[in-house]
């Protein structure tokens, strides 16, 4: 593997870790599986919109209506 490609992969991993992307996606998928929502794409959009403020969504031209899904952990820790 070229050093340039390796550096790009390292930078991508750092970015994902800084923003907890893998954890968020994993928790979202777990919640989706638990809920068995018949509209998985809509569920995921609403799930992700629940992680930010209405103001932030509005600043980016995003509007989400209706109830938002809650996080559902697969394993509850004491």
Triad 40, 17, 36: Cα angle to 5°: 15
Instruction: Tell me how many domains the chain contains.
Output: 1
Domain that holds residue 35: 23-78
Position with higher pLDDT, 62 vs 71: 62
User: How far apart, in whole angstroms, are the C-alpha atoms of residue 34 and residue 2?
Assistant: 41
The answer to whether position 77 is within a domain reads: yes
User: How far apart, in whole angstroms, are the C-alpha atoms of residue 59 and residue 70?
Assistant: 23
The answer to whether position 29 is within a domain reads: yes
Residues 42-70 have pLDDT tens digits of 999 999 998 888 899 999 999 988 887 87
For residues 72 and 35, the answer to whether their CB atoms sit within 8 Å is yes
The answer to whether position 18 is within a domain reads: no
Residue 72's nearest CA partner among 54, 50, 55, 57 is: 50
pLDDT at 30 over 50: yes
User: How far apart, in whole angstroms, are the C-alpha atoms of residue 74 and residue 34?
Assistant: 8
Confidence label for 39 from pLDDT (cuts 50, 70 and 90)? very high
The answer to whether position 12 is within a domain reads: no
């Amino acid at each position: 593997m070229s050093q340039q490609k390796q550096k790009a992969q390292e930078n991508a991993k750092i970015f994902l870790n800084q923003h907890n992307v893998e954890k968020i996606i994993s928790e979202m998928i777990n919640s989706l599986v638990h809920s068995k929502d018949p509209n998985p794409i809509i569920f995921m959009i609403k799930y992700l919109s629940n992680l930010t403020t209405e103001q932030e969504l509005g600043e980016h031209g995003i509007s989400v209506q209706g109830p938002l899904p809650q996080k559902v952990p697969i394993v509850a820790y004491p």
